[in-house]
Amino acid sequence: MYTSQCLTQSRLIQYGSAALREVASAIQALAQAEGLPAHGQSVQVRLAEGG
């Protein structure tokens, strides 16, 4: 067993407010399909906060 077999990769994506508004529905649909509703809700919160 190697150390690399125990590691997971993470990616961070940053959107400006206009770009986030453009893809918000797709992000929410994907989050719902993957069983990650809080990820979709975070988009709603960010949009409500103006960002």
pLDDT in tens, 18-49: 999 999 999 999 999 999 999 999 999 999 99
pLDDT band, very low/low/confident/very high, at 1 (cuts 50, 70, 90): confident
Q: List Cβ neighbours of 20 (8 Å cut-off, separation of 6 or more).
A: 43, 46, 47, 51
Q: List Cβ neighbours of 36 (8 Å cut-off, separation of 6 or more).
A: none
Q: List Cβ neighbours of 40 (8 Å cut-off, separation of 6 or more).
A: 27, 28, 29, 30, 31, 32
Please determine, for residue 51, whether its predicted confidence score (pLDDT) is greater than 80: no
Please determine, for residue 50, whether its predicted confidence score (pLDDT) is greater than 90: no
pLDDT of residue 7: 84
**pTM exceeding the 0.75 threshold for the entire prediction:** no
